[in-house]
Amino acid sequence: MSRLRHPVKSYIATLRMTRFKLVVFIEGKDNDPIFYGAVIDRMTRETGDTVDLRRADELPNAADGDPSGAGGKLTLQRAAKFWWRWKHRDEVGWTQDRRVFFCIDRDAEEDEATDKERALVRTRHHSVENHLVNGTDLAEALAIAFSARTAEIEAELPYVATCASQFAALWKEWTTFCLLAKRLDVGVGGYGRSSPINNPAHAATSASLMSSQLEILRKKAGIGAPEFGVLWVATTEEVDRLIAAGQFDRVFKGKWYGDILFSIFSSGKLATQCKNTGKNGIWIGIRARFTLRDEDYDYYRGQLA
């Protein structure tokens, strides 16, 4: 049976009956509710605001173009645009005392010049998952995921406390590839997939696989080798600077952390527990040990004000 659909206007109209003064729509189903829930819980305690947290798949036509029925970024962007237009044409005035925001992943280099005015809030880093990893004791999180002791985790991953920066350096070439592909607006998968040039995921970059991927990107972009080489070098230098400055989370996709962690532990002494748990189990452990950082809270409180 097909899902019942309502126009966006009809759905938004129901907000006039809510007792909440702040309504926040979020993009994902698993990690986003944990992160934004922590932000809103703290905001409620500190400011007394009553906040309603809703998912994108509640919005009308959220499943259009997606057989799984999941809402997402495009759904929220469209709803934010509609809300902004309606609010500025509202003659009754019932929207004026309600704050409605639509929270989406920043991804890489998104235009945010008018986001807040238009009710869009983007993550500080590339995605929510970056925030979760940064706010988590990964040794404890992985111990929960694999039903292991933290000592066992640290034995397999001695640099677990600093693995975020280590992983960013490991996948530097793939991050650079994805960033350049995005800038060239070329459909080659890019940020939508795990690195095909680090195989397994915790291995160093394969020069031959890298060369092959770059040639595919160059041909898709339709530019000559000399020009492409200049772009590649410039983008590489930019990513190097971000890594050196500890700002790699701006361009490193948060979900990739799970890919690399799974690769490491599925090939070691905890392989059985890791494979039984799977990548989702790793994120369950991370969510269980997540603590909202002050700098993240300050950013989102400012955005949702």
| Position 254 in a domain | yes
pLDDT of residue 254: 96
DSSP assignment of 96-154 equals: TT-EEEEEE---SS---TTTTTTTEEE-SSSSHHHHHHHTB-HHHHHHHHHT--HHHHH
DSSP assignment of 198-243 equals: SSSTTSPPPHHHHHHHHHHHHHHHT--HHHHHHHHHHHHHHHHHHH
Per-residue pLDDT reduced to its tens digit, 231-280:
999 999 999 999 999 999 999 999 999 999 999 999 999 999 999 999 99
CA angle (286 as vertex; 265, 51 as ends), nearest 5: 160
Q: Domain check: are 278 and 142 in the same one?
A: yes
Q: Domain check: are 68 and 172 in the same one?
A: no
Q: Domain check: are 48 and 69 in the same one?
A: yes
CA angle (96 as vertex; 91, 102 as ends), nearest 5: 115
C-beta of residue 108 within 8 angstroms of C-beta of residue 256: no
Domain that holds residue 113: 8-130+293-304
pLDDT band at 118; cut points 50, 70, 90? confident
pLDDT of residue 53: 92
Q: Domain check: are 80 and 111 in the same one?
A: yes
| Position 3 in a domain | no
| Position 1 in a domain | no
Q: Across the chain, which distance is largest between two alpha carbons, in Å? A: 65
Q: Is 27 helix (H, G, I), strand (E, B) or coil?
A: coil
pTM: 0.88
Q: Is 141 exposed, middle or buried (0-12, 13-18, 19+ CB in 10 A)?
A: buried
CATH number at residue 84: 3.40.50
Residue-averaged pLDDT of the chain: 87
The one-character DSSP state at 95 is: T
Per-residue pLDDT reduced to its tens digit, 30-67:
999 999 999 999 999 998 888 899 998 888 765 454 44
pLDDT band at 156; cut points 50, 70, 90? very high
Answer yes or no: is pLDDT of 100 > 90. Answer: no
pLDDT band at 226; cut points 50, 70, 90? very high
pLDDT of residue 247: 94
pLDDT of residue 60: 74
Average pLDDT over residues 281-297: 97
pLDDT of residue 40: 94
Query: What six digits make up the tokens of 258?
Result: 């799970």
Q: Is 8 exposed, middle or buried (0-12, 13-18, 19+ CB in 10 A)?
A: middle
Q: Domain check: are 147 and 210 in the same one?
A: yes
Total domains in the fold of the chain: 2
- Comparing CA positions, the residue from 256, 275, 254, 289 lying closest to residue 106 is 254
When mean pLDDT is compared across 68-82, 93-107, 164-178, the lowest value belongs to 68-82
pLDDT of residue 18: 73
pLDDT of residue 95: 55
Answer yes or no: is pLDDT of 182 > 80. Answer: yes
Q: Domain check: are 86 and 161 in the same one?
A: no
Q: Domain check: are 183 and 143 in the same one?
A: yes
Q: Give the Cα separation of 9 and 232 in Å (integer).
A: 45
Q: Domain check: are 142 and 276 in the same one?
A: yes
Containing H/E element for 272?
A: helix 271-288
pLDDT band at 69; cut points 50, 70, 90? very low
* Strand residue runs (E) in 6-91: 22-26, 51-55
Q: Domain check: are 165 and 256 in the same one?
A: yes
Q: Domain check: are 26 and 41 in the same one?
A: yes
pLDDT of residue 70: 44
| Position 2 in a domain | no
Q: Is 26 helix (H, G, I), strand (E, B) or coil?
A: strand
Query: What six digits make up the tokens of 166?
Result: 């280590």
Q: Domain check: are 88 and 152 in the same one?
A: no
Amino acid residing at 49: D
Q: Domain check: are 282 and 146 in the same one?
A: yes
